[in-house]
A and B are shown apart, each in its own frame.
Chain A
Amino acid sequence: MQKDNDSGGPSTPSGLSGRLRRRKGSNEVPPEVVKANGSHLLVDDTNKYKSMLIRTYSSVWMIGGFAFIIYMGHLYIWAMVVVIQIFMARELFNLLRRAHEDRRLPGFRLLNWHFFFTAMLFVYGRILNQRLANTVTSDNFLHKLVTGFIKYHMVTCYFLYIAGFMWFILTLKKKMYKYQFGQYAWTHMILIVVFTQSSFTVANIFEGIFWFLLPASLIVIDDIAAYFFGFFLGRTPLIKISPKKTWEGFIGASFATIVSAFVLANILGRFQWLTCPRKDLSTGWLLCDPGPLFKPDYFTVPQWVPQWFPWREISVLPVQWHALALGLFSSIIAPFGGFFASGFKRAFKFKDFGDSIPGHGGITDRMDCQMVMAVFAFIYHQSFIVSQSVSIEAIMDQILMNLTFKEQRALFMKLEQIIQERSTTPSSAITNPRDYEVISDRENVLHIATRNVKMNGSSLGERSLFYQYSGMPWRLVSFHQLYHLLEAFLLVAFKFKDFGDSII
């Protein structure tokens, strides 16, 4: 969602007014007011001011509504995302439909919405199943319902999809095959594009509004900064698809976005409402320990900073370094979402995706860069912020889907027992930290003895020996004993070795 920057050169005539792209919150300058090295200023024209007024008014209204919803909380933000999704899908469904063919195919549009609601059920069921389970624990009947839903969620969605698939095949009409297959493919592409990014957005929201708000704000800042830099300094065109974008706008916006990412992360990271994750579907206030990422580190200002600088030390939240990566992505790669949308509009020869927002285009016009950013923000969060392995998710999924409430509770008790046993018994027989270090220093030791090496589970060594000794996957208890025996033996052996070395 880049701002349009006027291309340099006075030869762009008023014929370009047809390609006016109106963007959010911009002081849009129509191409008749051409800039050459920023020497011209806004022509004093009441029409332009009126359209700018309309645009500013709707932008302010959008931003205000957005801020209000952020204040209301996670569940309302989710509802907002769903509403945006529905509008986007409707715009895109309408886009490549041809009225002539549609008259001959009654009920074909319903098929699109059937797939839409199936996708919604699938995506939100998967993302929110854990939180749903956390919410409904009081009432037994509701809990059974929810557990049943989570358990058979995949089957339900699959049969809904198959029903839509069969419906599609049974409605194929002679001589309309190509149109119908085209619409079918188009529906799938729309749903994938719309639902991937919105599902990742919702997943991020429940991890903490910060992880939704920061990327979205960075895109907005990038747009606005790119507009102003291009407005004043724009000269060399950037890419053929969008002739009004300039290199100066791009580079200036990148710089501004990265700096504001750093600063914005500091400001936003101080509010618990934004940084705490939501574990269930409640709407009340949140209190939590935000974690080490949001605790400030203090750096003393270096010597060469002049005396009049008011602060002697800077507090930096560790999350600000992550925000730098987000800023880098949003300035360099997210604009390609805008280029994609521009190219798409040129390919199919329409000006805007819709006209829901006065003064701007449709909702898809607003969201094109946001979509790319939302997916990246989720993936970044999953890979670098949450250091949780895929295995925990998989096992948690299994527990939720496969066990009844009683069985889940039984598992919980047993796990509790195991963890308590492990913390109380000196099971490793490594009580002396010096011995522990001795073993871990030796690289040629069988790595089952290096318990402090963080690999995927200290049960690593168990597995390697396990497969050589036993063919029964479920019989693990005896192997635990073997493991501890071997460990104790090695410990003693190395103790003796060192003892022997020290004597000599």
Chain B
Amino acid sequence: MQKSKSPPLPSTPTGRIRHRRRWHSHEVVPDVSKLNGSLLLVNDQNKYRSMRIRTFSSLWMLGSVILILYLGHLYICAMVVVIQIFMASELFHLLRRAHEDKRLPGFKFINWHFFFTAMLYVYGRILSQQLVNTVTSDKFFYKLLSGLIKYQMVICYFAYIAGMMWFILSLKKKMYKYQFGQYAWTHMILIVVFVQSSFTVANIFEGIFWFLLPASLIAVNDVVAYFCGFFFGKTPLIKLSPKKTREGFIGASVATILSAFLLANILGRFQWLTCPRKDLSTGWLQCDPGPLFKPEYYPLPAWIPQWFPWKEISVLPVQWHALCLGLFASIIAPFGGFFASGFKRAFKIKDFGDIIPGHGGFTDRMDCQMVMAIFAYIYHQSFIIPQTNTVEMILDQIIRNLSFEDQEVLYLKLGQIFQ
């Protein structure tokens, strides 16, 4: 989700204007060209009005995101699910052709069938522990739920097989190619949409911090890249997106890494953001956030002048991890945006949808976020959890979550490693 930067040459014809309207950007229409930043925005009523619309919708989005963050984990998950549904419906519509669709009644329901199967599977796996922890009061409900979790794989598999059989039985002569293309397209969409959103949800329940920090870094990267390109942009970056410049890219990288360091410090002080949520409740959270969020104090070196107000800096250990996240967000996450740009060029579409006024659809907003969400989850699983998970914590998990028989089975399995 990069900001578009104006090209340096004044001869760009208006035909190649790609109105990439982005999230709270100060969009510059390309015929107002810049040469070393010497020209300023042309005083044009239309441009200001469109900028106002865009800023207004951006602020509205920002405000609602902050409200949802305040409300808690469950509401954030609900927001993720809603965004998923919108993204999926935009993408499903994209490569559908109205002519063929008229001859295939009921075919688009197959898409939604697969969507709900995927949702059942993904959220069932990720939230099974949390669900079990929530529903403990009623005996019947608990049995129902644990039965569902136990047979979740079978249920989802049969739902998928039902969808596949439905697809095969609905194949119509002379429409085979279109139908198979749609089937493949559906699978690709669902994979793209669900992998990243399931990882996002898993991260949310580990602590809102691990969802908020990567998302903010992408936003910061976009905004700073826009402004750096606006003022300093000269050499183009990649053929796919001709308006991106190297200066914008490098400036944004520096700014993103710095702000990752600072933002981690600020966000890490709130228990609401750093505590994991073990069940599906919505109440207040209190916990021991773990060694990652306890500040360490470093005394400032001697060469800092006297008027500097702080004598020692407090650094949360998580800030070093945030540096890695910032590095990824600035260097690799923009490739998600390039992928989406290339895709739109390949299929000659301007935007994925038009839900958000002044911007495109949801997929336009989420293209870089998707790559970042996956990385944030994998980073968390591989580097954060091993640091915070000690023998005691795993032992507690074993005692708390497994029955006695299961514990003995686990004991036997562990024993095989040491033979």
Contacts and interface: CB of A to CB of B under 8 A. Distances in A.
B136 A169 contact: no
B378 A340 contact: no
Interface in B401-415: 401-404, 406-411, 413-415
B129 A391 contact: yes
6 tightest Cβ-Cβ pairs between the two chains A and B:
A347-B176, A177-B346, A464-B136, A457-B403, A402-B386, A347-B177
A19 B332 CA distance: 50
8 contacts: A170-B238, A189-B188, A336-B161, A336-B164, A347-B179, A383-B150, A412-B415, A418-B395
Interface string A148-177: 000110110010001001100110101001
B279 A379 contact: no
Interface residues of A, number: 90
A201 B303 CA distance: 65
Contact of B374 (A158, A407, A409): A158
Interface in B316-364: 332, 335, 338-339, 342-343, 345-347
A401 to B, nearest CB: 7
Interface stretch (A50-58, A470-478, A493-501): A470-478
Contact of A447 (B139, B338, B383): B139
A178 interface: yes
B57 to A, nearest CB: 29
Contacts of A66: none
A162 B382 CA distance: 16
Interface stretch (A23-31, A179-187, A434-442): A179-187
Contacts of B396: 474, 476
Q: Which of A134, A339, A347, A388: most chain B CB closer than 10 A? A: A347
Contact of B347 (A162, A178, A384, A461): A178
B335 A165 contact: yes
B161 A410 contact: no
Nearest to A411: B391
Nearest to A457: B403
Interface string B130-156: 001100110100110010011101100
A372 B342 CA distance: 34
Nearest to B336: A165
A473 B184 contact: no
Nearest to A337: B164
B interface, how many residues as a size bin?
A: 35 or more
A137 B390 CA distance: 22
Contacts of A188: 188, 191
A376 B165 CA distance: 14
Chain B contact residues: over half helix, strand or loop, or mixed?
A: helix
A458 B394 contact: no
Contact of B278 (A152, A186, A383, A473): A473
B398 to A, nearest CB: 6
A457 B278 contact: no
B407 A415 contact: yes
Contacts, number: 225
Nearest to B172: A240
Nearest to A384: B154
Q: Which of A151, A174, A346, A457: most chain B CB closer than 10 A? A: A457
Interface stretch (A2-10, A303-311, A392-400): A392-400
A391 B239 contact: no
A240 B398 contact: no
Nearest to A398: B394
Chain A contact residues: over half helix, strand or loop, or mixed?
A: helix
Given A383-B150, A457-B403, A459-B401, A152 B129 contact: no
Interface of A: 130, 133-134, 137, 151-152, 154-155, 158, 162, 165-166, 169-170, 172, 174, 177-178, 180-181, 185-186, 188-189, 192, 239-241, 279-280, 333, 336, 339-340, 343-344, 346-348, 372, 375-376, 379-380, 382-384, 388-392, 394-396, 398-399, 401-403, 407-412, 414-416, 418-419, 422, 447, 454-464, 467, 471-474, 476
B397 interface: yes
Given A154-B381, A178-B347, A401-B381, 19 more contacts: A137-B418, A151-B382, A155-B382, A169-B240, A181-B346, A185-B188, A189-B188, A240-B173, A280-B416, A344-B180, A383-B150, A392-B409, A392-B410, A399-B414, A401-B382, A457-B404, A458-B404, A463-B133, A474-B392
Contacts of B414: 396, 399, 408, 411-412, 415
Nearest to A347: B176
B288 A389 contact: no
B29 interface: no
B226 interface: no
B180 to A, nearest CB: 5
Nearest to B156: A379
Contacts of B286: 471
Interface in B214-231: none
A467 B130 CA distance: 13
A333 B165 contact: yes
A396 B419 contact: no
B374 A375 contact: no
Contacts of B287: 471-473
